[in-house]
């Protein structure tokens, strides 16, 4: 960890706890700052706040009082999930207070170089693949994962050395709060419609994603999906070396698919059929990862070893089990239409689709073509159940059943399935109408699958 002094005696307000707020507050105290933490959760039910109090950090809980901003703070470190429309954040912006998120702190203290990965879909899989490939035949140091993947960026940066590298998944929420953060390699997997409830407009969302490259220079690399015209245009604004990947067309300077082979520049690495995870979207994630690790000098043998053994990231088209000739997959991370579309396209067998969740004010007509081609039956739930049902009926699906939640969906999906079917949880909606996170939703699905197998086998 770098010995930095710019936070000595600085009055800093940390707004929002969870992993990012906890680690930011502890680091700032270690760096000599005068830290106050503000969290909306009441102290009685707030173990994180109690822990910080025990460590001598001032904590104010139970809401976000605007009067806090009269106490002379010089900086705010914001939990990424708190929107900029929150009254205390909006007021801080009016006052001209700088507002950052945890990855910015991590970048400032890190001795290890950073690889940054963002995009609407595929961030976690790409981040994971990059780290696995970098570590496969590594002789010195380690590739750590951090960020939006569920691992505190600050906690990793504190232990990483110059021999290591930090592969950081960066959400648009986190990227809104950077200042100096500068990855040596930045990746955008794709950009689709998402998080307009947070960013207000798609333009703001795209601007947030592009912040991943705003501090890069000609010594850095910007890896983008060349199949998306919007990204090709956006890449022209970057000062880094742009290296593309493409699933649809040969790109001599990057990674691409040709004649069923995964290639880098003019070199064949392996056949697409030998990849162990399903779906065209995962081919794109693989291509993005290959560009990154080729820049870092990783050998083809290491890449092939990872791609022939990797079974997927939890909650992202994750294989759960085969039972009675049906395969169960958990894609709870599919919180938007494009993610579900990609997951469904990844299978050639008939699909029983489990879908539904938070209503963000849009409908699901865009899913109709893939539903028509791949899905034989649907189990719908959550706030968007009726909207999902409408899309299914428009696709000509006659077997559509509405249930209360994911747990109830599993046995109903099994009843509608036959040999060789895929039973796929891919909700196309966020989880927050019924679950605190997509992880909880996915875990409940896995538990329900395991319970179904036990009951039927008994």
Task: Give the residue numbers of the binding site for ATP.
Answer: 119-125
**What φ, ψ does residue 293 adopt, rounded to 5°?**
-75, -25
Residue burial 379-395, b: 16+ Cβ < 10 Å; e: rest: bbbbbbbebbbbbbebb
**What φ, ψ does residue 267 adopt, rounded to 5°?**
-110, 130
Q: Are 56 and 36 in contact (CB under 8 A)?
A: no
The whole-angstrom separation of Cα 453 and Cα 458 is 9
Tell me, rounded to whole angstroms, the distance of Cα 241 from its chain centroid.
Answer: 24
**Residue 96: enclosing H or E segment and its boundaries?**
none
| Strands 255-258 and 261-264, bridge-based pairing | antiparallel
CA-closest candidate to residue 102, choices 124, 126, 75: 75
CA-closest candidate to residue 292, choices 187, 217, 163: 187
Binding residues: 119-125
**Residue 247 CB: number of other CB atoms within 10 A?**
18
């Amino acid at each position: 960890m770098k010995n930095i002094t710019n936070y000595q005696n600085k009055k800093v307000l940390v707004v929002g706890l969870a992993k990012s707020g906890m680690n930011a507050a502890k680091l700032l105290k270690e760096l000599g700052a005068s830290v106050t933490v503000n969290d909306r959760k009441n102290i009685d039910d707030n173990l994180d706040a109690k822990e910080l109090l025990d460590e001598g950090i001032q904590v104010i809980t139970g809401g976000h009082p605007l009067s806090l901003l009269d106490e002379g703070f010089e900086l705010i470190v914001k939990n990424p999930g708190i929107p900029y429309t929150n009254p205390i954040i909006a007021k801080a912006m009016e006052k001209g207070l700088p507002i950052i998120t945890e990855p910015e702190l991590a970048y400032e203290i890190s001795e290890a170089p950073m690889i940054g990965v963002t995009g609407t879909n595929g961030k976690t899989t790409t981040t994971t693949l990059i780290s696995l490939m970098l570590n496969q035949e590594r002789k010195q140091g380690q590739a750590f994962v951090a960020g939006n993947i569920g691992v505190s960026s600050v906690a990793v940066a504190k232990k990483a050395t110059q021999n290591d590298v930090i592969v950081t998944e960066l959400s648009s929420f986190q990227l809104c709060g950077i200042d100096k953060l500068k990855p040596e390699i930045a990746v955008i997997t794709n950009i689709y419609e998402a998080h307009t409830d947070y960013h207000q407009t798609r333009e703001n969302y795209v601007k947030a994603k592009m912040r991943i490259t705003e501090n890069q220079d000609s010594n850095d690399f910007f890896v983008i999906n060349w199949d998306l015209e919007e990204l090709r245009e956006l890449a022209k604004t970057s000062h880094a070396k742009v290296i593309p990947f493409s699933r649809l067309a040969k790109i001599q300077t990057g990674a691409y698919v040709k004649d069923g082979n995964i290639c880098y520049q003019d070199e064949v690495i392996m056949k697409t059929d030998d990849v162990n995870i399903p779906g065209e979207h995962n081919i794109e994630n693989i291509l993005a990862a290959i560009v990154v690790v080729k820049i870092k000098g990783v050998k083809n043998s290491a890449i092939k070893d990872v791609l022939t053994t990797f079974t997927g990231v939890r909650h992202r088209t994750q294989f759960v089990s085969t039972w009675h000739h049906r395969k169960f997959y958990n894609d709870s991370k599919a919180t938007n239409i494009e993610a579900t579309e990609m997951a469904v396209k990844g299978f050639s067998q008939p699909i029983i689709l489990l879908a539904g969740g938070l209503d963000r004010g849009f409908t699901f007509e865009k899913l109709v073509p893939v539903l028509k081609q791949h899905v034989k039956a649907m189990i719908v739930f959550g706030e968007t159940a009726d909207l999902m049902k409408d899309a299914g009926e428009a696709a000509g699906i006659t077997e559509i059943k509405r249930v209360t939640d994911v747990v109830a969906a599993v046995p109903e999906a099994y009843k509608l399935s036959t040999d060789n079917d895929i039973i796929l949880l891919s909700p196309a909606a966020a989880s927050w109408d019924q679950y605190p996170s997509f992880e909880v939703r996915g875990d409940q699905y896995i538990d329900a699958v395991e319970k179904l197998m036990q009951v039927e086998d008994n």
